[in-house]
Amino acid sequence: MTSSETIVADRLSQVTSAWSPANTPSSPAGITLPCIHCGLPTHCETGTHPEQVFCCAGCLGAYQLIHGWGLEDFYALRDQMKLTGAAQAAGKGNRYEQFDQAGFLGPSKPVALNDGTCRAEFAIHGLHCGACAWLIENAAAREPGLLSARVKMSHHTIGFVFDPAAIRLSQVARLLDRLGYGLAPIDPQRDDQVHQENRRLLIQIAIAGFFAANAMWIAIALYAGDYSGVEAQHRYFLGLIGTALGVAAVAGPGRTFFVGALASLRTWTPHMDLPVALGLSVGTLVGSANAIAGRGHVYFDSLAALVFFLLIGRWIQFRQQQRAARAVDLMLRITPRHASLVVAPTDQTVESEKMVLVDTLQLGDLIRVAAGEHVPADGQVVQGKSNIDRSLLTGESQPMPVGGGDAVAAGTINLTSPIDVRVTATGRESRIGRVMQSVEAAATEKTPIVQLADRIGGVFVVTVTLLALVTFAYWSQASLATATAHATALLIVACPCALALATPLAIAVGLGRAAKRNILVRDGQALQQLSGRGVMWFDKTGTLTEGRQRVSTLQGSVEGLRLAAGVEASCRHPVAQAIVLDAHRRGLALPTSARLDHVASSGVVGEAEQQTIYVGNRQHLEQHDIVIDAELHRRLEQLAASGESPILIAVEGVVVTLLGLSDPVRCGALELIAELGRRGWSMGILSGDHPQIVSGVAQQLGLAPERCFGGLSPEEKLAAIRESRHAQQTVVMVGDGANDAAALAAADVGIALRGGAEVSLQAAPVFIASGQLSSLVTLLRGAKATTRLVLLNFALSLGYNLVAVGLAMSGWISPLIAALLMPLSSVSVLALTLAWRSFEETTTSQSQAGGVSGERV
Q: Which residues are catalytic?
A: 539
d(CA 62, CA 41): 17
Nearest to 375 by CA among 335, 431, 422, 340: 335
Assess contact for 849 and 665: CB atoms under 8 A: yes
In Å, what is the CA distance from 170 to each residue of 97, 176, 200?
Answer: 6, 10, 26
How far does CA 512 lie from the centroid of its chain?
Answer: 9
d(CA 821, CA 835): 21
Assess contact for 400 and 394: CB atoms under 8 A: no
Query: What phi-psi label fits residue 556: left (phi over 0), alpha (psi between -120 and 50 degrees) or beta?
Result: left
Assess contact for 170 and 96: CB atoms under 8 A: yes
Assess contact for 436 and 334: CB atoms under 8 A: yes
Assess contact for 2 and 53: CB atoms under 8 A: no
End-to-end CA distance of the chain: 76
Sign of the CA dihedral with 227 first, then 233, 234, and 240 last? positive
Q: How deeply is 706 buried, as exposed, middle or buried, from its count of CB atoms within 10 A (0-12, 13-18, 19+)?
A: exposed
| 3-class DSSP assignment, residue 825 | helix
d(CA 195, CA 224): 43
In Å, what is the CA distance from 356 to each residue of 207, 337, 383, 421, 453?
Answer: 40, 9, 20, 15, 45
d(CA 277, CA 271): 10
Assess contact for 852 and 665: CB atoms under 8 A: yes
Assess contact for 552 and 642: CB atoms under 8 A: no
d(CA 291, CA 398): 81
Helix (H) or strand (E) holding 647: strand 645-651
Assess contact for 540 and 689: CB atoms under 8 A: yes
